[in-house]
Amino acid sequence: MRTYIFIFLFSLSFIGFSQNNYIVKTEDGRRVLLKADYTWEYIDNIVPEKKAVDSTLVETNNDNSCKPDADFKEPKLDSKIQAELKKGRATIDHVKAKVAKDNDCNVEDVLLLNAKEQKTNAIYLFCANGNIVKYKRVGNSIIKAGKLF
């Protein structure tokens, strides 16, 4: 019986000393080292710059209408985030399909003007049917900005 108690106490103390350190990423993109002794430190001290989208290529009026230039190109979105959103059917293609359905137009008529995207949420600005519309994504749910339900 003493042998079993000794083995149990030895294995219990061994588990306590075999903790690992973890590297996690914060929302602003910096990496943090979480140590086994409950301390932490930044690996990346500099906050990575976010990609700015030049929205001067689209002509807007005060009446909420838009007319993009002939050489306007949609901003590129992060492919890693889009790959993760593919599982929940919330990629930019799914958002464009929802915008087209809500505004009674084709998906080809919907143009992405601006996007602020993270893994958990995003805000998109579209030109659909000649009007500027704003949509937001929380998780995998896509709704028009300003709407609750």
Residue spans of the domains in the chain: they are 20-49, 55-144
| pLDDT averaged per 10 residues, the chain (length 149) | 81 65 81 84 72 48 71 87 86 91 89 88 89 89 76
Give residues with Cβ within 8 angstroms of 26, minimum separation 6: 32
Angle (CA) 66 72 78, round 5°: 105
Phi, psi for residue 39 in degrees, rounded to 5: -115, 165
Give the pLDDT confidence score for residue 96 in this predicted structure: 92
Length of the chain: 149
Instruction: Work out the number of other CB atoms within 10 angstroms of the CB of residue 54.
Output: 8
Give the pLDDT confidence score for residue 125 in this predicted structure: 92
Q: Please name which of 48, 66, 71, 49 lies closest in space to residue 113, comparing C-alpha atoms.
A: 66
| Lookup result for tokens 């079993």 | 4
Give the pLDDT confidence score for residue 30 in this predicted structure: 83
